Chains A and B, each alone.
Chain A
Amino acid sequence: MRYAETGYNLEIDLATGNIERVETDPKLMALHLGGLGTSVKLHWDRVPPEVKAFDPENLLVFSTGLLNATPAFSANRSVVTFISPQSDTLAYPMMGGFFAAELKYAGYDKVVFRNKSPGWIYLYINNDKVEIRDASHLQGKGAVETQELIRKELNQSKLQIAAIGLAGENRVFTASIEQSRSSASRLGGGAVMGDKKIKAIAVRGTKDVYLARPEDFMEQLKGVTEYIQHRWANPIQDVMTILSGIGSPQEMKHTDEKWHTENFVWGNARTRRRDFWTDEIDESWSKSQHAAVKRLISCFNCPTHCGALISHKNTPRYMAKCFGKLTYAMAAYVDDLDFSWKILQRATEYGVDSFSTPQILAFAVELYEAGILTDKDFAGCPSDKEGRFLWLLDRVVRREGIGDILADGVYFAARKIGNGAEAFDHNTIKKHEQLPVKLGTLDPLYFLMYSTNEKISITQMEGQWPQSAFPTMEQRENFVRDWPQLPDDKFKKYVLDWDIRGEKAIPYYPTPDIASEIVDWMETMHNIDDACGMCCGMSSFCFKPPYHIHNYPKIISAATGMDLDEEGLKKIANRSRNLHRAYNNRKGIRRVDEKPPADHWKKRFPELEEELLSTYYAFKGWNHDGIPTREKLEELDLGYVADDLEKRGILHNGHN
């Protein structure tokens, strides 16, 4: 009997149509847990670094996490892994919704696609019955529309469906995979799905998922539940409202967007609009949001309300969550929230990432205004801001005219367009559009998270650490009180010592040593979440979350029957992190790639930045170039990885 996991993967060969149900090695759970952990291992074993995103050998893996489909609240995330067409590294966007649990109830931990289908297909999984079905009639349909059509076609209201829209079909590098109220958006999973000609995956499952020690598990869950209720009753003081609770930032619920709109930089990550949030905007945006949001909704087995059903005037309905509400309107400099609901509907049906795509559209507008793109490129484009953005979105998604070049994202488009366009690519790391943030002074924590994490996007890499120092000692003392999530009490001192100016302020405090410790804590928690399928909104991404390093080992042990303690769990997370790092090193990632965009901070500190990187690498057991040493790898039972890195000449004498 397998506990928490099902013990089976589905292996689909799209070239031959062969489908196999393959039992997995039970030892993998002890080494990598599940979810991202076991997926990284699978890619390491099966996809050599020569493979590119659109090669048939690129695997596209839909994975559940270890705790999906157990009663653990908020464990509902699917992780999709593949070589990204944008970064050429192993990407892992995730989605909440209902897909992962349903897949597990159908009896599978992962669906592994290899090769390409000759024609458009969708996969239908109904417990043991798995079919590759013709999807030629779905070609060109929207991602939301496709889900509804398949539900009707199979007459199954309880199907959970992940689908791509036109963007994925046309291999747009920012194409997302949409599912229910969620999407796996970053780094082009939709493009890889489209390249393999998979329009959708539909799943229905009615099998049992088992717990090894049910009484212990429920006792732990009781504690989690009590803490959720405690946090609902006690929002964090002295931070922005939007970050004071648990769950993802509650942007469907809250209408006050002063912080996001005024602190982020808009257009092509260009302008901070410090006086944006006026009384008139507040009133008109609140009115628009209250009219558009029909109901606040959650993902599977989660008591929060991070998403919403959107019904805006006569545009078809769709579901939305958090930040997409702002990105298109603000990137287009359209100050009417109604425009957001309108374009977001179209973008959701097309299936595009709402972080990257608006920046690409704004990048095109900037190039046009600078005379680098011309009237010829914009022939047929309306002159108003709204019309222009909608027109550009259509061109990108259809890969028509200039849209075909823009569809590869800012980095590649800038180089293809040339003529000075490269200077407008100022917000990418590892060829990927980043969150539009421009700050005054270098922030050491942001610097490390932006630069070094395999997620290649700070979004959701930050988390439980305050975004800036609290001005008064009273506020600091208040914050560190009741902080059971801390891995070590020393972190309290770091908050107390952290000042807004002077010696113990950014950029020199947190010091490189302390910054390494904090970043390591954050990413360890993210790696655990991503292996468990836990929503980071209830764990690593929010202040004082219900899940943390002290209750996780007990929850995982009770679910699986393993006897994990904190050190054991940290070691697994670290193993996963290092294996992923080695994978991306094999793909060519080095120290030189690990730097935020040139004008990310107004004031840069080159020497300090080098010191931060060196200190962090040393803390992680990596060499000067950011490659794990043999010693580190062997400590994590990854000797075979060191062998491989040495064989390929990436690591010399175990260290250099």
Chain B
Amino acid sequence: MATIKKKIKVIKVDADKCNGCRTCEVMCSAFHAVPKYSSNNPARSRIQIITDRLEDIWLPVFAGEYTASECSGRNRYVMNGKEYAECNSCRASCPARDLFKEPDSGLPLKCDMCDGEEEPICVKWCLVGAITYEEREEERQDEPRLGEMEIGLQALADRHGMKKVLETVARMSKKG
């Protein structure tokens, strides 16, 4: 496989600056609505503020890869006197929880860094500076990445089996 120079997009989270307003969730879901900004719904957002207000935890987490099976990450970490649940800070769209899934279909959501925009929309609208954006170049292996539809179909295939998915698509396409 060829090695290519790739632009790496990095979001830096300064959780101490987060005021817990969840504007990032509003704007992410609005940007990804079709047509753009025609609706918003934080449950569809690919960034979620994990909050335990009285414990002083406000942690922005971005939707990462979809995973078909849950892991054993139930550990708890205490840092500066605050207890974080490992599961809560995980990026995966995973069967163990309802985070990073479309609320109606249950299909996985994944942060796409708002490809094509100057910077991710959540960063643009975070006026308190809790999330900032950086770019750097890295050399890495060129490998094909799954698009949004492939991720969705993969999730359906994992859940129902590829055969059933194909049958359903065939049936639906006949109905027109």
Q: Write out the residue numbers on chain B whose beta carbons fall within 8 Å of the beta carbon of A73.
A: 23
Q: How far is the CB of A319 from chain B (nearest CB, A)?
A: 7
Question: Within the assembled complex, what's the spacing in Å between the Cα atoms of A309 and B53?
Answer: 8
Of A52-60, A210-218, A358-366, the one with at least 4 CB within 8 A of chain B: A210-218
Does A237 lie at the interface of the complex (its beta carbon under 8 Å from any beta carbon of B)? no
Does B168 lie at the interface of the complex (its beta carbon under 8 Å from any beta carbon of A)? no
Q: What 1/0 flags go to A61-72 for Cβ under 8 Å of B? A: 000000001110
Q: Write out the residue numbers on chain A whose beta carbons fall within 8 Å of the beta carbon of B54.
A: 144, 148, 309, 317-319
Given contacts A71-B30, A214-B38, contact A303 B21 (CB under 8 A): yes
A303 engages B38 (CB within 8 Å): no
Question: Within the assembled complex, what's the spacing in Å between the Cα atoms of A309 and B27?
Answer: 25
SS class, residues of chain A in contact with chain B: loop
Question: Within the assembled complex, what's the spacing in Å between the Cα atoms of A123 and B130?
Answer: 35
Question: Within the assembled complex, what's the spacing in Å between the Cα atoms of A84 and B128?
Answer: 39
Question: Within the assembled complex, what's the spacing in Å between the Cα atoms of A157 and B19?
Answer: 18
A214 engages B21 (CB within 8 Å): no
Q: Write out the residue numbers on chain A whose beta carbons fall within 8 Å of the beta carbon of B51.
A: 157
Question: Within the assembled complex, what's the spacing in Å between the Cα atoms of A309 and B51?
Answer: 13
Q: Write out the residue numbers on chain A whose beta carbons fall within 8 Å of the beta carbon of B37.
A: 71, 211, 214-215, 217-218
Question: Within the assembled complex, what's the spacing in Å between the Cα atoms of A602 and B146?
Answer: 75
Does B157 lie at the interface of the complex (its beta carbon under 8 Å from any beta carbon of A)? no
Question: Within the assembled complex, what's the spacing in Å between the Cα atoms of A508 and B103?
Answer: 61
B128 closest partner in A (C-beta):
A303
Given contacts A71-B37, A208-B33, contact A298 B19 (CB under 8 A): yes
Q: How far is the CB of B61 from chain A (nearest CB, A)?
A: 13
A208 engages B40 (CB within 8 Å): yes
A210 engages B39 (CB within 8 Å): yes
Does B89 lie at the interface of the complex (its beta carbon under 8 Å from any beta carbon of A)? no
B21, B42, B43, B56: which has the most chain A beta carbons within 10 Å? Answer: B21
Question: Within the assembled complex, what's the spacing in Å between the Cα atoms of A229 and B129?
Answer: 12
Q: Write out the residue numbers on chain A whose beta carbons fall within 8 Å of the beta carbon of B53.
A: 180-181, 297, 309, 319
Does B96 lie at the interface of the complex (its beta carbon under 8 Å from any beta carbon of A)? no
Q: Write out the residue numbers on chain B whose beta carbons fall within 8 Å of the beta carbon of A302.
A: 21, 23
B43 engages A206 (CB within 8 Å): yes
B56 engages A295 (CB within 8 Å): yes
A299 engages B38 (CB within 8 Å): no
Choose among A214, A300, A305 the residue that contacts B22 (Cβ–Cβ < 8 A): A300
Does B90 lie at the interface of the complex (its beta carbon under 8 Å from any beta carbon of A)? no
Q: Write out the residue numbers on chain B whose beta carbons fall within 8 Å of the beta carbon of A301.
A: 21-23, 26
Does B152 lie at the interface of the complex (its beta carbon under 8 Å from any beta carbon of A)? no
Does B147 lie at the interface of the complex (its beta carbon under 8 Å from any beta carbon of A)? no
Does A228 lie at the interface of the complex (its beta carbon under 8 Å from any beta carbon of B)? yes
Does B127 lie at the interface of the complex (its beta carbon under 8 Å from any beta carbon of A)? yes
Does A294 lie at the interface of the complex (its beta carbon under 8 Å from any beta carbon of B)? yes
Question: Within the assembled complex, what's the spacing in Å between the Cα atoms of A316 and B169?
Answer: 56
Does A460 lie at the interface of the complex (its beta carbon under 8 Å from any beta carbon of B)? no
Q: Write out the residue numbers on chain B whose beta carbons fall within 8 Å of the beta carbon of A298.
A: 19-21
Does A209 lie at the interface of the complex (its beta carbon under 8 Å from any beta carbon of B)? yes
Q: Write out the residue numbers on chain A whose beta carbons fall within 8 Å of the beta carbon of B56.
A: 294-295, 309, 311
Choose among B26, B30, B42, B127 the residue that contacts A229 (Cβ–Cβ < 8 A): B127
Question: Within the assembled complex, what's the spacing in Å between the Cα atoms of A309 and B20?
Answer: 11
A303 closest partner in B (C-beta):
B127
Q: Write out the residue numbers on chain B whose beta carbons fall within 8 Å of the beta carbon of A105.
A: 41-43
Question: Within the assembled complex, what's the spacing in Å between the Cα atoms of A296 and B56?
Answer: 10
Choose among B16, B40, B43, B103 the residue that contacts A71 (Cβ–Cβ < 8 A): B40
Q: How far is the CB of B89 from chain A (nearest CB, A)?
A: 13
Does B36 lie at the interface of the complex (its beta carbon under 8 Å from any beta carbon of A)? yes
A71 engages B26 (CB within 8 Å): yes
A71 engages B27 (CB within 8 Å): yes
Question: Within the assembled complex, what's the spacing in Å between the Cα atoms of A300 and B56?
Answer: 16
Does B14 lie at the interface of the complex (its beta carbon under 8 Å from any beta carbon of A)? no
Question: Within the assembled complex, what's the spacing in Å between the Cα atoms of A413 and B19?
Answer: 41
B21 engages A208 (CB within 8 Å): no
Question: Within the assembled complex, what's the spacing in Å between the Cα atoms of A605 and B52?
Answer: 54
Question: Within the assembled complex, what's the spacing in Å between the Cα atoms of A225 and B41?
Answer: 20
Choose among B21, B23, B39, B58 the residue that contacts A209 (Cβ–Cβ < 8 A): B39
Q: Write out the residue numbers on chain A whose beta carbons fall within 8 Å of the beta carbon of B27.
A: 71
Q: How far is the CB of A581 from chain B (nearest CB, A)?
A: 35
Does A207 lie at the interface of the complex (its beta carbon under 8 Å from any beta carbon of B)? yes
Q: Write out the residue numbers on chain B whose beta carbons fall within 8 Å of the beta carbon of A229.
A: 127
Question: Within the assembled complex, what's the spacing in Å between the Cα atoms of A562 and B58?
Answer: 38
B25 closest partner in A (C-beta):
A301
Does B176 lie at the interface of the complex (its beta carbon under 8 Å from any beta carbon of A)? no
Question: Within the assembled complex, what's the spacing in Å between the Cα atoms of A203 and B42?
Answer: 14
Q: Write out the residue numbers on chain B whose beta carbons fall within 8 Å of the beta carbon of A180.
A: 53
Question: Within the assembled complex, what's the spacing in Å between the Cα atoms of A410 and B30?
Answer: 49
24 A-B contacts (beta carbon < 8 Å): A71-B27, A73-B23, A105-B42, A105-B43, A148-B54, A205-B43, A206-B44, A208-B41, A209-B40, A209-B41, A211-B37, A211-B38, A211-B39, A225-B125, A228-B127, A229-B127, A295-B56, A296-B19, A297-B19, A298-B19, A301-B22, A309-B56, A317-B54, A319-B54
The 9 closest A-B pairs by CB, nearest first: A206-B43, A214-B37, A206-B103, A303-B127, A208-B39, A298-B19, A298-B21, A208-B41, A317-B54
Instruction: Identify 12 new A-B residue pairs, CB closer than 8 A, beyond the known A70-B40, A206-B44, A208-B44.
Output: A144-B54, A148-B54, A157-B51, A205-B43, A206-B43, A206-B103, A208-B41, A214-B33, A305-B128, A309-B53, A318-B54, A319-B54
